[in-house]
Amino acid sequence: ISDPDIAQKLPGIFALMREITESEGGLRFLEKILRYLFNTADGITPDELKNMVKESLSQEKGGIIMTIAEILRKEGYEQGIALADKRYEQGIQQGVQQGVQQGIQQGIRNGLVEAIELGLSLRFGDEGLKIIPLILHIQDCERLRAIKNAIRIAENLSEVRAIIGN
């Protein structure tokens, strides 16, 4: 409910409902209305709603409605806590999944760097190892794979440097 005047209209509506609350199903009907208002009324706090009901209904009926209102408030609080717990668990699960994925990617990258270092050492000796600092700055695993594959077929270190420079 986004009517900006709803707070002014509700006391009159509750006063009209005084007769309805005298019937057996009236309180259940009013409870449903209160549940709806708690969940949808913009700009009305539970305390404001409580005061409106108190002023509009008899003390006895107002007391019953206030008990309903307190139950609704408690239910809302418990639902909020349950939702927060659920979101917290989802956040932790998502964080763990992201951490695992990042760990896997870092492991793949480290393995590629080690393979490149070994390949450079075996193919080109100490001269090949001089370009390792350039390799360490590369984060892209696909690019590292291309360098690793180039080391296998390169005829000289200049060909490998050309791939690194791209």
Q: What is the mean pLDDT of each run of 10 residues along the chain (166 residues)?
A: 70 67 69 73 70 64 61 74 88 91 93 95 94 94 94 93 85
Buried b (16+ CB within 10 A) or exposed e, 36-72: ebbeebeebebeebbebbbebbeeebbebbeebbeeb
At residue 71, the pLDDT reads: 67
The single residue listed with the structure tokens 């590369």 is 138
* Phi (first) and psi of residue 113, to 5 degrees: -60, -45
* Phi (first) and psi of residue 57, to 5 degrees: -110, 165
- Identity at 48, one-letter amino acid code: E
Q: 94 with 59: CB under 8 angstroms? A: no
At residue 62, the pLDDT reads: 52
| Domains of the chain, residue spans | 6-83, 94-165
